[in-house]
Amino acid sequence: MSTVAPTSFDLGRSGRAFADAKASGRGALVGFLHVGYPDVATSLAAVQALCGTGGGGDGEQPGVDLVEVGMPYSDPMMDGVTVQRAGTKALARGVRTRDAFAAVEAVASTGTQAVVMTYWNLIEQYGPDRFCRDLAAAGGSGAITPDLTPDEAGAWIAASDAHGLDRIFLVSPSSTDERITSTLAACRGWVYATAVMGVTGTRSQTSSAAPALVQRIRRADPTAMVGVGLGISNGTQAREVIGYADAAIVGSALVATLLAAEDAGTPDDLTGLRAVVADLAAGVRLGGAAPVPSA
């Protein structure tokens, strides 16, 4: 007898981007950058650069399917050294919550979907309903809240429902089956599967725990869209992840290119960023679509 859970996952807008990629025979790519680093204006150009210049034909360069606009925070518990360094600089240079909406609008203007990745305190201080109103007005699809669990997210669920926004919660290899099930029920769009226990950062190889975690998510709801993050740094690793998940999520490897450009005295040089995006985009295309789980 089949033990597959009901197929009821709400794809929202951001999950639909994953589904569209799968329908075209490839995996999806999600890219993260902080707003405000190296400065607000350059960060807006950088998030647009993530989006590429088209589908890859006739000289066009494919980009990400979804942009995570990071909101720098003073106590970023999930961020590794690379992302923390950029976020700390952005805070010192005066970035504000409202700048995230400008970044979302810049991404939306390219036709690419954007979500904000932020710690709950920033939303709470801004006001959950006001935050959702302004995010929706900027063209955003939703938000990832890494430090907020569904059982503590009443205000966020109400506000995101009121403004039609997706909400992406996290699960990890240590999550119980019950926690995975309850998290999926609270998500809209997709679920963020952290491939390792720890903070963000590039790694020489992808996590062996990630495939098992995705398999557990599939058992809980085969229709859930799953993005895997923490540790992916190149197209080869992205291709490996797309073999079992719907999307590969990349942050530190992208942020590192901006740090390197500033260290070289050319903070507005996005050449390195574009090269890494091209490699990652090629990886998810060679990987094809994630396999459909069996009953």
- Mind listing the domains of the chain with CATH numbers? 14-287 (3.20.20.70)
The catalytic residue among 10, 60, 75, 79 is: 79
Closest CA to 170 of 114, 120, 238, 136: 120
pLDDT over threshold 70, residue 165: yes
105 catalytic, yes or no? no
**Where residue 142 falls among pLDDT bands split at 50, 70, 90?**
very high
pLDDT band at 109 (very low <50, low <70, confident <90, very high): very high
Q: What would the mean pLDDT of 96-124 be, rounded to a whole number? A: 97
The reply to whether 58 belongs to the active site is: no
State the average pLDDT over residues 270-295.
80
For residue 16, pLDDT over 70 is answered with: yes
* Residue bearing tokens 């009443």: 154
Residue-wise pLDDT for 251-266, tens only, equals 999 999 999 999 999 9
pLDDT tens string 172-192: 999 999 999 999 999 999 999
Q: Quick check: pTM over 0.85? A: yes
Read off the amino acid at residue 253. A
d(CA 285, CA 274): 16
Q: Catalytic residue, from 10, 60, 68, 263: name it.
A: 68
pLDDT of 199 reads 43
Q: Which residue has the tokens 């700390």?
A: 88
| Region 34-45 average pLDDT | 98
